[in-house]
Amino acid sequence: MKKESSPKRVQSPELGENEGKYVELHGWVHDIRILGKLTFLIIGDPYGYYQAVLKGELAKKGSSIPRQSYVILRGNVVKSVSKINPYEVQVNYIEIVNEADTVLPLDPASKVQSELMTRINNRPLDLRDSEERKIFLMRADVLHIIRDFLTQNGFVEVDTPKIIATASEGGAELFKVDYFGKPAYLAQSPQLYKEELVLALGKVFEIAHYFRAEKSNTVKHLNEFTSVDIESAMMGKFDVMKILEELIKHIYSSLKAKGYQVNELKGNFPIYTYEQVCDSTGVNFGEDLSSEVLNEFGKDKEFYFIIDWPLSLKPFYTMPKGEKLSESFDLMYKGLELASGGQRIHKYDLLVERLKANNLNPESFAEHLKVYRWGMPVHSGWGLGFDRLMMVLTGRNNIREVVLYPRDSRHLAP
């Protein structure tokens, strides 16, 4: 690619350390200003913006480049009088790699944000706005922080199939796949696999896309979403709640250390029982807590847990607590459910009983049930809705803002 005579290629943040040098840069034309015989190009690259100054014939050439076109520039780096960019490039060579259309679906240089749907339908262009790009840089950073934290805490990363033969959670709606003529489904969670794997691996985690075929279009649901799942042998509900709380706090402090604008979380996450929430909101025992109820209950709270849900509201694998309750919890942020977990059943007979109580056929779960005959340990775990966590971390109110190419019942493309 690079000819031997090319000068050193640098990126926007490296201008300062190359003052006085002749360098090559590449990027897109973010904005153009013409002042007398000079053309000033504001060039964007994935790491920032800088100003390129063009004189004479080059000024003429530069002034007619369509915005967002991709260019290669060569020139000398000098101190700038601009307050925004302390350095600029005095260009003596410009090459247009690819010209952009003159009419674009959105303008990343505009201070007025386009409609969300326009932005999502043109996501790569939307990401040329550094504010939008920052969401996905943060997303990558948070995923890295989570993997490091869980690995350092002894969890082994696993990857389990996304094409499955049986519904893992029982009830919820599944996408159907034609698997060589056999009916199959897309996984809603790694629930059964991660439980099976604690048998020998002890502590496991998985981060992947999962699929739910629910047609409702809300600001907090997608049909394809990212989940962070853990499962651990010989832990109870409070043990895995502690790991989750420490993880969330670690994410905040790590992001702060990386220069992101997030608050530091202080104190322990409060714990409320389901029955306390019912008492405080007037909900009858056994009823699910609606968005309205949770928004009301959570309006003056940040992160908190709701524990000991009615057994009838939790999936079949949840460990009962007495007759009517379960060893379960949800992690909430204000009115938004972020994570859900608890202790699981580890005894074969009880698991069969709970499958039947949920009107599920134990024969459909034979491949899973057999593992409970091989010395299954006590175990607990949780699943964290990663896209929802990103909503909280970025302060965005629509889950589509934090997912590159969101999937809902109306959007299968781009």
Q: Verify binding: residue 83, its own copies, rule CB under 8 A.
A: no
347/350 Cα distance (integer angstroms)? 6
Please state the closest distance from residue 368 (CB atom) to its own copies, in A: 7
Nearer Cβ to its own copies (107/296):
107
Question: Is 200 a binder of its own copies (CB under 8 A)?
Answer: yes
Among 45, 245, 275, 353, binds its own copies (CB under 8 A): 45
Choose among 363, 403, 54, 74: nearest CA to 222: 403
List the interface residues with its own copies, window 117-176 (CB under 8 A): 122-128, 133, 136-137, 140, 143-144, 147, 151, 156-166, 175-176
> Residues of 84-100 as b/e, b for ≥16 C-beta within 10 angstroms?
ebebbbebeebeeeeeb
Number of chain residues interacting with its own copies (CB under 8 A): 98
For the bound state, the minimum distance from the C-beta of residue 137 to its own copies, rounded and expressed in Å, comes to 6
Cα–Cα distances (Å) from 91 to 20, 53, 79, in that order, read 13, 6, 14
Identity of the amino acid at 138: M
- Please report which helix (H) or strand (E) contains residue 348, including its range: helix 348-357
Indicate whether 400 belongs to the interface with its own copies (CB under 8 A): no
- Of 107, 224, 302, 337, which lies in the binding site for its own copies, with binding defined by CB under 8 A? 224
Pairing of strands 48-54, 203-211: unpaired
Show contacts with its own copies in window 232-261 (CB under 8 A). Answer: 233-236, 238-239
Binding of its own copies by 86 (CB under 8 A) = no
Contacts of 178 (CB under 8 A, 6+ apart): 184
Strands 163-164 and 48-54 come out as: unpaired
Beta bridge partners of 318: 344
Q: Which of residues 180-199 bind its own copies (CB under 8 A)?
A: 180, 182, 184, 186, 193, 196-197, 199
DSSP bridge pairs for 75: 23, 91
Residue among 100 and 262 whose Cβ is closer to its own copies: 100
Tell me whether residue 37 or residue 242 sits nearer to its own copies (CB atom). 242
State the minimum distance, in angstroms, from the CB of residue 408 to its own copies.
9
Cβ closer to its own copies: 17 or 101? Answer: 101
Shortest Å distance, C-beta 24 to its own copies: 10
Choose the stretch contacting its own copies; rule: CB under 8 A; options: 15-23, 221-229, 257-265, 295-303. Answer: 221-229
7, 48, 202, 362: residue in contact with its own copies (rule CB under 8 A): 202
Locate 36 and state its tokens: 């007398």
Residue 46 contacts its own copies per CB under 8 A? yes
Other residues' Cβ atoms within 10 Å of the Cβ of residue 117: 11
For residues 287-346, which are near its own copies according to CB under 8 A? 346
388 binds its own copies per the rule CB under 8 A:
no
CA 96 to chain centre: 35
Cα–Cα separations (whole angstroms), residue 149 to 92, 124, 244, 305, 392: 48, 31, 11, 21, 19
